[in-house]
Amino acid sequence: MTAPALDEVYGYVQERCLWQFSSRAWDRTENIDGVLGTLADLLTNTPVNPSSPTERLFLADARVLADQLRERFPDLGSLDAAGVRALLESLRERVTQVAITQSRNHELHEKAY
């Protein structure tokens, strides 16, 4: 997929996925990495065997997103596993940059609560 396609996938995720907006930076990081990592496994037909409630939650969110992305972006089917993982790594970096690194929410790093 091309850079504009990454922009489209990013826009779709930003608009529809609330798991990236938890109240703490560590929680956002965990959710972003967990959901997008599981999504990469689903889109590359890698077996996913969640062993904790958190991993099952990531799987549930990733399944919904995988179905939506396959429907909305049929070009995903033309990518090989490395291409899918590269796309999702770029997506992870961008979501992390916006939702955590560049966030103006100072409470993200508040240790008192």
Query: What's the pTM value of the predicted model, to 2 decimals?
Result: 0.91
Contact (Cβ atoms closer than 8 angstroms) between residue 68 and residue 16:
yes
Contact (Cβ atoms closer than 8 angstroms) between residue 95 and residue 13:
yes
Q: Report how far residue 93's alpha carbon sits from residue 89's, in angstroms, rounded to the nearest whole number.
A: 6
pLDDT, tens digit only, all 113 positions of the chain: 565 689 999 999 999 998 888 889 999 999 999 999 999 999 999 999 999 999 999 999 999 999 999 999 998 888 999 999 999 999 999 999 999 999 888 888 887 76
Q: Report how far residue 36's alpha carbon sits from residue 26's, in angstroms, rounded to the nearest whole number.
A: 15
